[in-house]
A and B are shown apart, each in its own frame.
Chain A
Amino acid sequence: DAGITQSPRHKVTETGTPVTLRCHQTENHRYMYWYRQDPGHGLRLIHYSYGVKDTDKGEVSDGYSVSRSKTEDFLLTLESATSSQTSVYFCAISEPERGQGELFFGEGSRLTVL
């Protein structure tokens, strides 16, 4: 199994509070991704990173920010959580030189915003 750890795995918070989700990898993969998964929507890309300090927006980036100060860590921050951000968040990693489109996923972080 790919070495990907997400934390926390479960979190309940209140509207308006900041939340940070962490993704840690031990595979030294260049690309890291944050997705959200909601029923009927499949996976939607929030942000991704293609190297340290190199990030880009996905299709649902509003209300989210990311940071990658080290190869192994990719942080997703909700500056002021809203109920619409209740979701399951997945981190994924890939190394395109080893396989385009081949992503390895973490086990997910379930966030509930009350």
Chain B
Amino acid sequence: AQSVTQPDIHITVSEGASLELRCNYSYGATPYLFWYVQSPGQGLQLLLKYFSGDTLVQGIKGFEAEFKRSQSSFNLRKPSVHWSDAAEYFCAVLMDSNYQLIWGAGTKLIIKP
């Protein structure tokens, strides 16, 4: 069965430091992968997506993610975080049976001043 795991419930990073949020998926074929961000009290917003092609994808707000088939991973990165990046981040994979998303449990990013 398809699944998405985000191993880290919380991550704390100092402002200006680099960030990597982990996402592992279980899927038989080439997955369609997504990262969404949820700011406090808001709905989710799409950061970036991977369908095929270049395994390094760029998104909004300076984020990027790299698809690594050998590791079944799609980790989200940012070279230098800002206080406004404090939010919860969700990884998701698109099911091919009904085109619905399967979501990870989320990683809450805390920024230290």
Contact = CB atoms under 8 A, between A and B. Distances in A.
B15 to A, nearest CB: 26
Given A42-B90, A101-B94, A48 B100 contact: yes
Given A42-B103, A42-B105, A42-B106, A102 B45 contact: no
Interface residues on B, range: 20 to 34
B42 to A, nearest CB: 6
B42 A96 contact: no
A56 B95 CA distance: 15
Contacts of A84: none
Contact of B100 (A41, A58, A90): A58
Given A42-B103, A42-B105, A43-B103, A102 B46 contact: yes
B81 to A, nearest CB: 22
B105 A41 contact: yes
A16 B100 CA distance: 31
26 contacts: A4-B43, A40-B9, A40-B105, A42-B90, A42-B103, A42-B104, A42-B105, A42-B106, A43-B90, A43-B101, A45-B100, A56-B98, A58-B100, A90-B43, A90-B44, A92-B44, A96-B99, A99-B49, A100-B32, A101-B34, A101-B49, A101-B94, A101-B99, A103-B46, A105-B44, A107-B42
Interface of A: 4, 40-45, 48, 56, 58, 90, 92, 96, 99-103, 105-108
